[in-house]
């Protein structure tokens, strides 16, 4: 289907899985309320590539559950310490 996009010069729109992922990441991302609102309003007009970029950005801006004092389990702690080392 990508070759059709190239022929007709159309951009592939974000799929439902990407949109669900973005909405979930927005709930725990450390971004301003204004930016979060802007993202929420633009969800239906995101292209596939824009959605992928936004998912990466929001993934990097997730709350560190250990430092924030939120609920966490030993698996989360082990994974966190492995990444930190």
Do the Cβ atoms of 58 and 22 come closer than 8 Å? Answer: yes
Distance CA 4, CA 6 (A): 5
Question: What pLDDT, on a 0 to 100 scale, did the predictor assign at position 72?
Answer: 61
Q: What percent of the chain shows pLDDT beyond 90?
A: 53
Give the domain ranges of the chain. Answer: 2-84
Q: What is the mean pLDDT of the chain?
A: 82
For 24, the enclosing helix (H) or strand (E) is: helix 16-28
Task: Tell me the pLDDT tens digit for each residue of 63-78.
Answer: 765 555 655 667 766 7
Task: Tell me the pLDDT tens digit for each residue of 2-40.
Answer: 666 655 656 789 999 999 999 999 998 989 999 999 999
**Predicted model pTM:** 0.66
């Amino acid at each position: 289907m990508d070759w059709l996009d190239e022929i007709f010069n159309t951009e592939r729109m974000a799929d439902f899985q990407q949109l669900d992922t973005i909405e979930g990441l927005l709930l725990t991302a450390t971004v301003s309320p204004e930016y979060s609102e802007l993202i929420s309003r633009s969800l239906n007009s995101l292209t596939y590539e824009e959605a992928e970029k936004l998912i990466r950005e929001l993934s990097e801006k997730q709350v560190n559950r250990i430092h924030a004092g939120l609920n966490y389990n030993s698996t989360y702690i082990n994974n966190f310490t492995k990444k930190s080392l």
